[in-house]
Structure 1
Amino acid sequence: MADINIQRKKSSPSPWLLVLLVLLGLAAVGYYAFRADSDQPTTAPAVPSLEPAADSTTGAETAPRPTNDPAVAEMATEEPGGSPEELAAFAASDATTPTYGRRGLEMLMATLRTLADRDDLRDATVSEKRDDLTSATSRLQEQGTSLRPGYVAAANLIKAMQQKGYPALETKANELVGRANELTGRTTSPQEQQQVQEFLRRAADIVGEISQPAR
């Protein structure tokens, strides 16, 4: 009887083993790639400078802001006069100028503030009227602001200074207060322009006398 040669069948490798080997290879590649990135030098983030730029608007302004209003620009570049003579000269100028009323009030304010600080005129009443004038003209630079409160406050301050040591000017001071109360605060019509000009003329006349030592 012939011998039958029986050979065992070789088993093929498991597919899960191949998958495991592939995963291990990928893990090794990822590990070395991560280490290579971590070895690169890091750059520190830039720290913003605390110094303002040359054209920065956060610092103090070094130049006046431009304005498109000619009246405001004129008042910003010209300092109001502070003497009765300058006030009288301005009062006699052209009252039809658009800034005549506002400019005249500014000059009258500057003159009155100088007189109100004089030792022989300064008292509680004069100081109170001076503060009223400051309050009444606090928005003088704003467009559309009525000038009438400023005229009235200025006339009342002149009246207070007249009562302090100039009894001979009582009639003139009372007339000035009455004229101030009659003003509309505008200079759009010829009548209004004439009224403001006459008020400034009379105010300059009384202030000129008060600027002299009391007798």
Structure 2
Amino acid sequence: MHRRHALKIFGAAALGAILPIPASHKVFAQAAAGPFALPPLGYGYDALEPNIDTMTMTIHHQRHHGAFIGNLNTFAGQYPALKPDAIETVLRDLAAAPDAIRTGIRNNLGGHWNHVHFWEIMTPGGAKEPGTELATAINGAFGDLGQFRQRFNAAAVGRFGSGWAWLVVDKDKKLAVVSTPNQDNPLMDGVKGVVLGVDVWEHAYYLKYQNRRPDYVTTWWNTVNWTKAGANFTKAMA
């Protein structure tokens, strides 16, 4: 190693040992205390291999989802209606939130709800195909399961920038495929319920798929727990 280059490396290392790391740069900085807590994933970070890699699941759950929790606890101190048992109520009536924090609540509460749904819909061990009730509804709305998946994939791949694609039960109790930007979700638009959804933010797939979002979305179907989707459908239709 060149002597001058070595001195630069060792000097930088020594400086790093002396200077404290800013809280904003700590990966697991202490989140604000409050009523919200990061829910357990419910299965191992490696459980969706090889479809979604272990590192992506770890970072996605602990850091991205975890960041929403800290922010929500901050907002909860400013908006008493923001409570863990009132998440859907708040999302369906964002206009009631204080102006100064409404966007923050939209982004962070939406992100929290979206990710809880996402983890649950990929829970290993469920059915690999839709049950009779949901399959009948899908066939009636889209023709068959294959045509539905094509419609859904197009919504997911075609979402410009970051966002989500969803299968929802709309206000008229009919199935529909929709896409939302950022951390918005269909509850904000008044749907009856969400059956399933896929995260197409780059952090959900980039480590394994890089810019190949279509490959990620196609492979993601291997993780879908249709038992969970069927329960979501039944709840929305009640």
TM-score (structure 1 length as normaliser): 0.29
- Bigger radius of gyration among the two: 1
Q: Which protein is richer in strand relative to its size?
A: 2
TM-score (structure 2 length as normaliser): 0.27
